[in-house]
Chains A and B, each alone.
Chain A
Amino acid sequence: MKAVCYMGVEDMRVLNVPDPKILNPRDAIVKITSTCICGSDLHLYDGFIPTMEQGDIMGHEFMGEVVEVGPGINRDKLKVGDRVVVPFTIACGNCFFCKRQLWSCCNNSNPNYWMAEEMMGFSPSGLFGYTHMMGGYAGGQAQYARVPFADVGPLKVPDGIPDEKLVFLTDIFPTGYFGAVNADIEEGDTVAIWGCGPVAQFAIRSCFMLGAERVIAIDRFDYRLRMAEQGGAETINYEEVDDVVQTLKEMTGNIGPDRCIDAVGMEAHDHGLVYMMDRAKQMARIETDRPIALRQAIQACRKGGTVSVPGVYAGFDDKIPMGAFMNKALAMKTGQTHMMRFMKPLLDKVESGEIDPSFVISHRVPIDKAPQMYKVFRDKQDNCTKVVLDPWADGAKAA
């Protein structure tokens, strides 16, 4: 089959690899009909998250049709022919965490648990195509994928709705929604969101679903800010203001946003000296992350407010304003998305027409174009917001 393989930093290639096989009783094989490049894949492309190996198959956002199920799968739950959206987190459904709906903290799905344990104390759940520390599972930017614990994760979706409206249930829509849920929004709140990438776009719309009065979105690319405005947000282009925190103060009558969402994560940009220092430290591998958005979110948040962090951080971060965090009585909530909590309710919203998630798509291309699209997406060329890959397009005939 064809698959997008990580062959080194900034070196993705579409290669022919063996088709996946059932390895465990509760596995299933999915023939992929749509798959995407996620903003978090760019951290791997840039080489900032350790334990990628040459030859790893990329991708954790995919949907398709079940073509094979293992002997341990209850056919009432999943059978050959089902159309499914596969969540990016892998959960067993049986452990302490899964039973408490903390699906992304599943204790049994990471075969390389000890690697993450070394770095984080405990390991989160396994993820598709996202480093060996997170399980080393082959990803979904391919024509087929093996899905472990397939009786728990994959969401059956009805025929008659096109892929492009459903495929974002695999990660970014629930992740944006979870970011908004984690912000503990109350009726009438003002929410500030750092970043206007795809997750932030869904977070903006989710904030309004959850009762926010105002959403203020912060980015530096006009086309992304426009998309945020279409979702009802006010915007700040941080390259055009002196100080984001000061601007937010002005916009909120000197009280600050009630809730702050960092939808940027470890590769934030800014101007000024501190940014240059973070950048240098990251390049020298002294610091894994550039937590600029997080620092601003803590600084800007109103006293007693909430900071929600759907943005991906990998390791260790410098100069987190803990003094502000403590003295302003803030709360912080974060985590990889507990996908199975949100997929079904959000599918209902798609089915009812409350939201059409396909608005974020800027590029639909055959899988063969994936390597170029990583660069286009990373460099924000061609007004790129979201890339959907077709593994079976004409240009992508299986060899």
Chain B
Amino acid sequence: MASTTGMRTQGAGRGRSRTVTVQRWGALIGGGALAIYGITRRSPLGVALAAGGGTLALLGTNQRSQNRKPSTSTTILIGVSPREAYQFWRDFNNLPRFMNRLERVTVLDNRRSRWTAIGPMGRRISWETEITGERENEYIAWRSLPNSEIQVDGRVEFEEAPQGRGTFVRVRLEFTPALGMSSTLANFLSKGADFAVRQDMRRLEALLETGEIPTIEGQSHGPRDFVTGVARLADPSRSIPRGENFGQVYAERRRGA
């Protein structure tokens, strides 16, 4: 049901984030004013001012604090008890049923499991996860083991909602960027994760509440055109191409649902 997603900044104290905010808004307002002034001048100098001001404003919107660990979190209200939600999640075999990019999870023992996901450009990524803490019907925390290909720490909490509305399921993932990954790229990846996690949680909601996930994949339709194929390649809700060549992926998307 209702769900909130937020990028959180790690290691940024209160004072620090306020400074950052002031810088951001300063750049945004100052740059914006400069750009508007420049545009009204209608002269070469005006154009330069507008461009400079615009860039400054843009930087203002992009400015983020340093030393942050990209992370994503979202909360979703699901109409089942904390116990039902916990038990479903605790059986990690269930995760690929609603986590789109997760291909399979192999449970190794009570604490460890091997996760396989489809990464960018269809590359398979596999890593081992261990549970670092849990309390029945309340929370599960896990991390990927050191020297895994990707480092994702996760935590999911189950909190009973008032008035028999079900359970607030709160999930939080933290990514440790690989060495040498630029902060811009890390940001980009975690933004994609933001959307992906939200969609995964919506699928979980449908699955737990109705027993199925709504779909139109495989339904009948008339001939699709070029535009449909392009729009679907850009569709952020569809999983990433599975390593086939671009032409095949395009053709498949164009035909699909």
Contact = CB atoms under 8 A, between A and B. Distances in A.
B220 A53 contact: no
A55 B254 CA distance: 10
B219 A23 contact: yes
Interface string B198-234: 1100100110011111111111111111011001000
For the residues of B in contact with A, the DSSP-based class is loop
Contacts, number: 117
Interface string A128-169: 000000011110000000101100000000000000000000
B222 A15 contact: yes
Contact of B1 (A5, A24, A95, A137): A95
Contacts of B1: 95-96, 107
Nearest to A27: B212
A3 B214 contact: no
Given A55-B225, A136-B257, A110 B214 contact: yes
Contact of B221 (A26, A92, A93, A138): A138
A6 to B, nearest CB: 8
A300 B221 CA distance: 45
B231 to A, nearest CB: 7
Interface in B168-213: 195, 198-199, 202, 205-206, 209-213
A72 interface: yes
A24 B224 contact: no
Given A96-B1, A114-B199, A56 B222 contact: yes
Nearest to B199: A114
Interface in A84-121: 92-96, 99, 107-114
B18 interface: no
Contacts of A93: 210
Nearest to A125: B214
A92 B209 contact: yes
Contacts of A7: 222-223
A341 interface: no
B221 A23 contact: no
B221 A55 contact: yes
B215 A24 contact: yes
B10 interface: no
Interface in B66-97: 77, 79
The 5 closest A-B pairs by CB, nearest first: A5-B222, A55-B222, A108-B206, A54-B225, A111-B214
Interface of B: 1, 77, 79, 165-166, 195, 198-199, 202, 205-206, 209-225, 227-228, 231, 236-237, 257
Interface of A: 1, 3, 5-7, 13, 15, 17-21, 23-26, 53-57, 72, 92-96, 99, 107-114, 126, 135-138, 146, 148-149
